[in-house]
Amino acid sequence: MDEQPGCCIEEGGNESDNSKCAKTDSAAEELSLNPWFPCPGCDRTVTSLVRSGHPHPGKHHYYSYTHCCLTCESGSADPKHSEDQWACAGVPTSMFRQAKLSGSAIQSHYLLHDPGPEAAGGVPLPAVLFLHGANTYLYPETLWWDLRGLLEQNKVAHDEFFIVAPFGAIGEPVARASTWTKANRFKLDVPYVDSFDVDATWETFLRALEALGSRVDLSRLHVMGFSMGGQAVWSLALRYGSQLASAVPMAACCKWPEDAWASQDRIIEEVRRLPVWSYCGEQDTRTVSWRDFGWLADRRGLQTKSSESLTSHTELGIDSVIHDWGPDLSLTLVRGTRSCHCIWDMVFHNEEFFGLFRRLQMVRCDTPMESVEDGLTPFPASCEGRQKRQKQKWAGALVLVFGWSKLHVLHVPCLLCGKCCALPLNVECAQQTDQSSSESRLWTT
């Protein structure tokens, strides 16, 4: 979402800086206890940022302290809300959810889009974790605008996906504050946001899935985000990618964790098979790291040089330059948008040209979590647990092949010694000769 236009000048007298600080501290306390409140005049839930952290307790000319907006507070029936959307700080209560996270005293809040129990014929649906940009930290109500635009413009997303959109806003456990400051809606400098907290964001997603129960297909979980949210998508992929069906980072490159070098074996296990489809502005060069794509391609055994193709969308007045390393690794550079950074709405709102959600529909995770509790295991244990389960899966397949081979008088290699074996797994190996092993090898471990 673009920056808020104009500024809000408070009414009231001149107060001292000390007075401002005292009120700001108590407001921060109030905000942490009640970051949202229900509007008494309508069906919206309102961010407490409109009545916290400002220096003037009297009436404000732009925001209501009690309602979603001054229009709603006035009791107006038509229009019900301010025609300036920036003046209404509410989001639909019907989409508003909260989740208790382990180890956190405060609730995590998110918006949920639910296509309904009849969607797609009632089968379990895929789910998307939708992560916003940094500006939403100060204006959490704008998350709804982003989601509303997607749902209004993209029928596939609307009809066939659960969408979970956490608020990475002031006071929320999924947001990590920065050491630098930015002016808030009342023109007061406040600590700005650094990033999404990856583990808390992941847990919020899982708690949302838990609440949806069997209506979600756990083999079809996707993470998608733009700008700060795009960076979080990369971070989630490095830690939880083996449980995902795809990752779609937009307008962001990967911010590698400090221990990335030491953890690279675990990281590669998370992303080796994960489809990564990234979108950036062609001129937004700071958000593209060619080295990262080359590294991923190399570790997947692909050519490190991409193939390049150009698609012109004359109806939209833009071009897409698509760099492909394979069907599961691509970077689409969008050319011709008004802002070289804010390209995500172009992709979200033009499914007929970009086909992003159709693409998501087609893929499934090879190693999905078996339950939400399973997915809650923190990294790197989650990675190790996944590897262990994968080995068990292979062992199970091997036992089946072994049984089949006994019937068909064939030999298969032992999972433990790699040589031809005539006994079940996990018992003492009856090794055959190297020659018979090499002739009959069906699997490698």
Interface residues with Zn ion (CB under 5 A) are 39, 41-42, 44, 67-69, 72, 81, 88
How would you label 340-351 residue by residue, b for 16+ Cβ within 10 Å and e otherwise? Answer: bbbbbbbbbbbb
CB of 146 to Zn ion, least distance (A): 18
| Residue closer to Zn ion (CB basis): 139 or 402 | 139
Tell me the three state secondary structure of residue 401: helix
| Residue closer to Zn ion (CB basis): 66 or 377 | 66
CB of 9 to Zn ion, least distance (A): 20
Backbone φ, ψ for residue 204 (5° rounding): -60, -45
Q: How many CB atoms lie within 10 A of CB 157?
A: 25
CB of 95 to Zn ion, least distance (A): 15
Tell me the three state secondary structure of residue 335: strand
Q: How many CB atoms lie within 10 A of CB 199?
A: 20
Angle between helix 228-240 and 264-271 (nearest 10): 100
Angle between helix 198-212 and 228-240 (nearest 10): 80
Backbone φ, ψ for residue 402 (5° rounding): -60, -45
> For residue 226, which of 337, 63, 72, 300 has the smallest C-alpha distance?
337
Give the Cα-Cα-Cα angle 342, 158, 193 (nearest 5 degrees): 40
> For residue 310, which of 292, 324, 322 has the smallest C-alpha distance?
322
> For residue 179, which of 194, 196, 195 has the smallest C-alpha distance?
194
What residues does 99 pair with on adjacent strands?
A: 108
Hey, which bits of 251-397 come out as E strands? 276-281, 307-313, 318-326, 329-335
Output the CA–CA distances (angstroms, integers) from residue 155 to 246, 349, 364, in the order listed. 20, 9, 21
CB of 239 to Zn ion, least distance (A): 38
Within its chain, how far is the Cα of 184 from the centroid? Answer: 25
Residue pair 226/133 in contact (Cβ under 8 Å)? The answer is yes
Angle between helix 290-299 and 264-271 (nearest 10): 80
